[in-house]
Amino acid sequence: MPSYDINQYRSLFPFLETGKRYFNHASTSPLSTRVVAAMQNYLREKSIGDLEIIDRVVRQIVELKSGIATLLRSSNDRIALLDNTSNGLNIIANGLSWKHGDRILIPDVEFPANVYPFLNLRRFGVEIDFLKTKSGAIHAEDVDRALTSRTRLLTLSHVQFLHGFRADLQSIGEVCRRNGVVFCVDAIQSAGIVPIDVEIMKIDFLASGAQKWLMAPEGISFIYVSEECQSRIQQAYMGWMNMKDFFSDFFRYRMELEQSARRYENGTPNVAGIAGFNASLALLMEVGVEKIEAHLRDLTHTITDHVSASGFELLSPATEEHRAGIVTFRPPNAKELFERLRSQQILVSLREDAIRFSPHFYNTVEDLQTALRYLR
């Protein structure tokens, strides 16, 4: 049993009363009643309430950035709110000054969102080196061997979307720092369930959407950028809100960028999404990331044991230190099994002819056992 009152939190997900069992948080998460209430409150105010609620919106933004900064062990001024992970990664991809022959290192198991922004730099003569992995594993020594004198940047996912391999960011960050390589992290499969410390891990740039493990609505994301990394980024896109004091002296048309990471927020934000994200992040912080991590360790252990006993090919790491919340395995009849589970209202993912389970903090061992019995 987890070290928190799981039944208290299960009551926040009314879909459980319908008989559905959801193990697909690596795709998108269901919304808790707290998130729905926060978004409805904002929409109500914009519909029949005060209408002009800019002061409350600003407070929501400040509160959310503070929560994200706490999550990452960072400071508020290093956080910017965006719409999705891809646009976040494009900030650094298109912001650094590239020279013909510069190289970027990317593991060969990355989700496409963390590949295409960098492949697009080939038009400047930038070369992409794909780090060959074995069973989706990425280790610091592999990175060290793959770096060249022309490697400018390494980008990787903290937790890989398919195999669920959890990289040791601290050791990889140390390799990058020692070699003068910019370290960029996609945290969409780890933020909210795995502790992150951007300083200790020596992360220069991090991007993450909030619709997966952070349990927020779609269309809201964030980036972290270190001061040193920000000093090297020349913004490729500009908007009126990138500027200092953007809401005064409209006709001065000056190029005076905000000093904080807010300079990457080009225009009107997704306020309803911010309200929902605030509520979901507050919920996860209330439970505690470390407690969530420990509970998911138990759940993934239950799944891997069952998969092994069933004789299926386990694609996810066998060692707990490299797991997060994802367990993927390949049965001989993946599509048939996926449809069978779906017919029983057990929702998982079918990826690359494999079944992917990704439970969250409110799921129980009993939930899993209900699903896993169909593997037999």
Query: What is the predicted pLDDT for the residue at 165?
Result: 98
Query: What is the predicted pLDDT for the residue at 375?
Result: 83
Write the pLDDT tens digit of every residue in 125-138: 999 999 999 989 99
Q: Which residues constitute the domain of residue 130? A: 44-285
Residue that is last in its domain, among 285, 314, 338: 285
Same domain, yes or no: 204 and 73: yes
Regions of the chain short of the pLDDT cut 70: none
Query: What is the predicted pLDDT for the residue at 66?
Result: 98
Query: What is the predicted pLDDT for the residue at 225?
Result: 98
Contact 283, 34 (CB under 8 A): yes
Residues whose CB falls within 8 Å of the CB of residue 103, separated by 6 or more in sequence, listed in order = 126, 127, 128, 129, 148, 150, 151, 152
Q: How many domains does the chain contain in total?
A: 2
Residue that is last in its domain, among 285, 304, 320: 285
Residue 214 lies in a domain: yes
Query: What is the predicted pLDDT for the residue at 263?
Result: 96
Residue 81 lies in a domain: yes
Residue 34 lies in a domain: no
pTM of the model: 0.96
Query: What is the predicted pLDDT for the residue at 251?
Result: 87
Residue 32 lies in a domain: no
Same domain, yes or no: 273 and 132: yes
Query: What is the predicted pLDDT for the residue at 313?
Result: 95
Query: What is the predicted pLDDT for the residue at 153?
Result: 98
Same domain, yes or no: 175 and 66: yes
